[in-house]
Each structure stands twice: as structure tokens, then as C-alpha cells.
Chains A and B, each alone.
Chain A
């Protein structure tokens, strides 16, 4: 009991108070949990997500915690390995989007001029267009698969990171004395990397978390629509699609668990993003 009290007090000193912090902690825990599940998948289940165990369409039991699907695959292992799939796609696509969007936004915000004008209007146009439809169009052309899905999704979020980087660069430029730095002889590249980039980080983390949440939904949507990863890769969105036709017959476990995990992971990242937003951009306390 006393040890618990001690840790509580320690935690209170390190962790800031308030609803924002609570959200971040909960969100972070969820995300870490799922990453943990993904990494340690082989230890969590002995079944393979792509090999039949013999009995199909079995309801949840002690042997198969989440039942089996039409092809006899153990659903629990599909959930657990599915975590890998979605995390891989999400990480891949986010890396691609970031590598394109962030530098372009930085350069655009830093140099301004006609390049900025052109880039801005292109990015704004894409941004205004519904992401899922864009991803659908790309996926329809380049075909399904893990890498292809990541590419299709990546295109959707490039403008998001571009706009964030550009906007932040603009406002940071106002604050730093760029002229003075140049006078001392600092090179553009140094200024951008050493001074502007670090200041982007706070807003970056918020935009990142919220975009990842959105990415997860986009990936699940693509797979649900049949344009994402191919069978038999374990994927939560794909399982939703596969389980749909068995709904009228009452095979609830085929879709309940995959959907639940999609939502859970999305909520995890949403909480992190929203929580960070509350911490970094506190709203004025408005008392009615």
C-alpha cells in the first residue's frame, strides 16, 4: 500500500495535471499495448493467421478465444498478427508522406515566392479533396497489396504535413531574426535544420498523431472496400469485409473483434493528439 502511495506521488510530480495529460496517458497506453501485441504476436498465440485449424466458423471458446472464420483461421491470431499489418502500412505511409510533405512545406514557407504559390495551390486542392476517394482512385489503378496500399494512402497525407510545415515555418520565421542570422553568415540549410525544424516539433507531434489516427481509418476503409491488402494477409479491415456476409446468420465474432481493434487503435492516436493539443494550446478558461 505504501509503495503504491509513493509511486502515486512520484507520478504526480513528473506527469502534469489536467485533462490533456490524462488523454495522452490513456492514448499512449493503448498504442503501446497494440504495438506490444504486434511485436510479441508469436508469443501470444500458437496458431497461424493463415492456416486452417480444421474447424471453420466456430464461436469463441477457450481454445479459440475469438473463434474461427470461414476458412478455419483462428481469429485471435488474425487480430494479433493483424496489428502488424496495420502498423506496417501506417508507418510506411506516414514515413513517405512526411518525407515528401515536411521538407516541401519547410522550403515553401522559408523561401516563399512563386514556388510557394504553385505548391500551395496544388496542395490545397488535394487537401480539399476527400482523402478516401483519392486513395481509392490510386489503389484502383496500382492494385492491392501492403506496399501499394501504403503508397495510395501516403499521397493523401502529403498535403497535411506540407501545410503544417509551411504554416509553422511562416510563423517561426517571424519570430527568428533570419536576416540577422544570415548576416552572421549562417547558411539557409543550417537555419532551417537547426533553428526552424526543432520549433516545428510540438505542432508536428499533434498533427502526426491525428493524421495517423486518420490513416488507420483510411487503411481499414481501403481493405474493407477490397482495395487494400490481399488475402490471406491478416488485416482487420479485410476481416470486416470477409465477415460481413455471415452477419445475417449470426456469426458475430467474425466482425466484432476486428472492428473493435480498429477503433481502439484510432482512439489511441486520437487521444494522444487531442491531449497534446490541450497541453500545448490551452484554451482560455471560459466560465459560463
Chain B
């Protein structure tokens, strides 16, 4: 399968006055053409930073320290800002969590899409407007909304605008950072369906960043579980559902409530994720792990391939 995006040993740290936050620490994963990858993690796991790193938009004091991000054969880490501006939006599209704050409040939504088109392609304003209107239609926004301001639209509608902008230039890959967290459950389903449809229609790849494992299991092809800056398990959704390996993943699966059961206790993983400035020496999940061993306290395990295309970072399997 053709690899669209390949992240190798990526390290993104924030150098603050109180210390270094290792938000993305040695992350390796890849996305193939037409693939739907879900990155699951709690808040503070570094998943958002991972998303921003791919676009090289990590805000200071954050910096990509090391690693490679290979997009269609080019290591974009080596590109300068001007070259990156050509890639952003055109080769990589991004959808953010809160569409209210992600759209310019003073600009009409149609305008924002037209502007994106004109910046990247040499087309006239008229052509851009036509293209924009048809895109709005494709994502399910009524025509009358084209000249509205963001605050005049509902949350779901705003997110559709973001999606329209993200796919407008036929990017190779789209990163969706918690696109549905700010929306209610029904709208959430619509938006995710829309994403999946677009993916299939245009043969896009999508990275979905979320804290909700259940939506990943429903729609994605592959899943990467992230904890405290590390990827702890990485495989396809069938294997992870039937044979989860990492204790954290197991804990996550167990905490998904089952609508079919009448009564159930809410399972959760006790404890809190570690402070990314003062990371423990050994395995980062050690304090909360029910299967921990002495070894885990001293050394952080490596991410190794246990089964075909099933990676895990845990001493239980070495």
C-alpha cells in the first residue's frame, strides 16, 4: 500500500521556563492512501501537538526537535516557511476542534473558502466562487448560508464549513483534531459520516485525533493509542478490539459503556496522566498499570512489532 504520510521518530518539545514539556516523544507511525487512522489519547497525551507538528504549526515555545515527517516522499521538516505555506491547505488539510473560534469572526464563511482557493490556485474570483459554492453543496451546507458570518451558523454547520475548506484543494491527507468534541452526539455522527464519505469519494487519507476510542472503532481503519507523548499501541481496529495488548488500551476499551447492557458499573482507569515536564524514568504508564513489573519502573519499553502490523510498547510482550 502506498504510504502518503510517514512519521519517523518525531520529537516535539516545548521549552518553558519551568522545564521541557516532551509532548511528542519519539513517535513513529504512517498513513497509507485512502486510510483512516485514529489517534486516541487523553488530554495532555500530546495528540494535538502531534497534529500541529505535521503542519509545522507548533506554537512557540514548542519546536520540532528531531525526526522526519515524510509526505509523498518529501521530508517536510526540511522545508522552509514559504515552502510549507504552499503545502498547508493544498497537500494537507486541517480541521480544528472548535469551529466557532477557528473561523474568522469578521469574514463571511463563503469568503474564507474563496480566499483559500485563490491563495493556492491561479483562478479568478468568479471561478473560485463557483467552486466554493459547489463545495458547500457537497458537504451539505444550504446555498443561502454562503454569505453568512460564522456566528450565524450552528456548530455542525460551522464544522461543515471547515471541512469544505479542508478538502477544497484536494489534499492528500486531512488531519481532524477532535472535530466533533464541541458538537452534540447526533451532529457528531453526521460529521463523521461526512468525513468518511468524502474520504471514499476522493480517496483521501484522514487522521482523526480524538479522546473517544469508540468513534475510532466505529469508522477508522487503523488506530494508534497515545499516552504521555508515546505511542503505546498501533494496529488496525479489528486486532485492537479482539486482542488489545497494552494495559492502557485494555483499560480504555473497558471504560466504553455498552448500550446493550442494562446495568453496568462505569469502569475507569484510576490515577492521572503524568506531568509531561517531570516524566518518570521508566514506562510512563507504570503508576496506573495493573500489570506492572519491576522492570517497568526503570526503563521505558520500545515500540515493537509483535504480530503482523501490530505494534506495542510494553514489557509484557518482549
Contact = CB atoms under 8 A, between A and B. Distances in A.
Within the complex, are A and B direct neighbours (CB within 8 Å)? yes
Contacts of A288: 59
Contacts of B61: 287
Contacts of B60: 287
Contacts, number: 4
Interface in A116-143: none
A288 B58 CA distance: 11
Interface string B51-63: 0000000011100
A286 to B, nearest CB: 11
A288 B61 CA distance: 10
Interface in B46-105: 59-61
Contacts of A287: 59-61
4 contacts: A287-B59, A287-B60, A287-B61, A288-B59
Nearest to A288: B59
A287 B17 CA distance: 14
B14 to A, nearest CB: 10
A287 B62 CA distance: 11
A288 B60 CA distance: 8
A283 to B, nearest CB: 16
Interface residues of A, number: 2
A126 to B, nearest CB: 39
Interface of B: 59-61
B62 to A, nearest CB: 10
Interface of A: 287-288
A57 to B, nearest CB: 57
Nearest to B60: A287
B15 to A, nearest CB: 12
A287 B61 CA distance: 9
Shortest 3 CB-CB distances between A and B: which pairs?
Answer: A287-B59, A287-B60, A288-B59
A287 B60 CA distance: 7
Contacts of B59: 287-288
Nearest to B62: A287
B156 to A, nearest CB: 30
A288 B59 CA distance: 7
A107 to B, nearest CB: 44
A287 B59 CA distance: 8
A287 B14 CA distance: 13
A49 B13 CA distance: 64
Nearest to B59: A287
A32 to B, nearest CB: 31
B157 to A, nearest CB: 29
A79 B59 CA distance: 51
B116 to A, nearest CB: 21
A209 B38 CA distance: 58
A206 B48 CA distance: 42
B277 to A, nearest CB: 17
A125 B60 CA distance: 46
A225 to B, nearest CB: 46
A7 B128 CA distance: 66
B23 to A, nearest CB: 15
A21 to B, nearest CB: 16
B30 to A, nearest CB: 31
A189 to B, nearest CB: 46
A53 B139 CA distance: 89
A232 B191 CA distance: 83
A194 B232 CA distance: 62
A115 B59 CA distance: 53
Nearest to B61: A287
A285 to B, nearest CB: 10
A287 B57 CA distance: 13
A187 B138 CA distance: 76
A35 to B, nearest CB: 36
A16 to B, nearest CB: 14
A235 to B, nearest CB: 48
A244 B171 CA distance: 67
B59 to A, nearest CB: 6
A264 to B, nearest CB: 34
A204 B59 CA distance: 38
A121 B264 CA distance: 68
